[in-house]
């Protein structure tokens, strides 16, 4: 475990000192300003306070903001793993297996921090006109019937497929856990192809998996569940979503964990004969 932590610490130091991290901050700023702030302004306009977590829940179930969020993470992952002379020495000191798990842990920690930043910023943005409680606001519940025509705000509201099936706290917990699993899997895909010396394929594959969901969601086709990105969207998890075939929430957790396990197994096999230089 100490060797894995050693890899993790070295990787995080390089990640957080990378100037590309500014891109993630800009993406979060864009989501907060264009999404959460506008949602709060509309709630103020109709005189209905929001639940403190509703801004975040809206963002992680809104195609526009979620795609921007994921693309930003892929951009940062393009630099993982960083193979330089120091890293190569560290790999042979700690062992290839420990190196792999250290890199995966690094991806997971980065995912958690990235999501946490969005959560904190959205709470801060909502704080002046929100309440704490496990109950949906009137703005969310009655948006479609009372406010949609008045505000015409380009879908800046919590999807009804979320508040009809889950409480705010459930939505928050599942939204975070599914996103962490999805982002970790995306990172592991890039890591696997990096081991094969074909990192670009891993990056392109992640982007195609996102586009895959967007295309097939338009046609309400169940084939979109092949993509891990689809399983990260809580709004799609119920019996049927707009006549579109869906899957149970438990299946999504099993799918993401199983896919991660398979990728780790394949990566370990490839590492046996991998030479770093």
- Does the structure show a pLDDT above 60 at 134? yes
Overall average pLDDT of the 60-68 stretch: 88
Instruction: Tell me the C-alpha distance between 212 and 222, whole Å.
Output: 11
pLDDT the model gives residue 78: 78
Q: pLDDT class for 248, splitting at 50, 70, 90?
A: confident
pLDDT the model gives residue 6: 63
- Strand duo 50-51 + 130-131: pairing: parallel
Coil vs helix vs strand at 236: helix
DSSP 8-state code for residue 49: P
pLDDT the model gives residue 103: 85
- Strand duo 244-245 + 50-51: pairing: unpaired
Of 7 and 99, the structure prediction assigns the larger pLDDT to 99
């Amino acid at each position: 475990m100490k060797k894995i932590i050693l890899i993790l610490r070295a990787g995080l130091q390089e990640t957080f000192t990378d100037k590309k991290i500014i891109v993630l901050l800009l993406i979060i700023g864009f989501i907060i300003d264009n999404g959460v702030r506008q949602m709060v302004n509309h709630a103020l306009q109709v005189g209905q306070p929001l639940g403190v977590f509703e801004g975040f829940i809206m963002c992680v179930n809104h195609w526009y903001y979620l795609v921007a969020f994921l693309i930003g993470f892929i951009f940062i992952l393009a630099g993982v793993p960083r193979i330089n002379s120091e890293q190569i020495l560290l790999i042979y000191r700690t062992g290839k297996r420990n190196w792999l798990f250290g890199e995966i842990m690094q991806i997971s920690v980065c995912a958690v921090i990235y999501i946490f930043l969005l959560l904190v910023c959205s709470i801060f943005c909502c704080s002046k006109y929100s309440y704490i409680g496990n109950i949906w606001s009137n703005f969310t519940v009655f948006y479609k019937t009372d406010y949609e025509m008045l505000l015409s705000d380009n879908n800046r509201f919590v999807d009804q497929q979320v508040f009809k099936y889950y409480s705010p706290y459930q939505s928050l917990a599942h939204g975070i856990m599914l996103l962490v699993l999805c982002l970790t899997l995306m990172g592991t895909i890039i890591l696997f192809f990096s081991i094969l010396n074909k990192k670009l394929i891993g990056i392109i594959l992640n982007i195609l998996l996102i586009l895959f969901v967007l295309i097939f969601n338009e046609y309400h086709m169940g084939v979109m569940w092949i993509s891990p990105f689809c399983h990260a969207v809580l709004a799609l998890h119920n019996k049927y979503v707009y006549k579109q075939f869906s899957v149970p929430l438990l299946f999504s957790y099993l799918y993401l964990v199983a896919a991660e396990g398979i990728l780790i197994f394949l990566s370990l096999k490839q590492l046996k004969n991998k030479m770093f230089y």
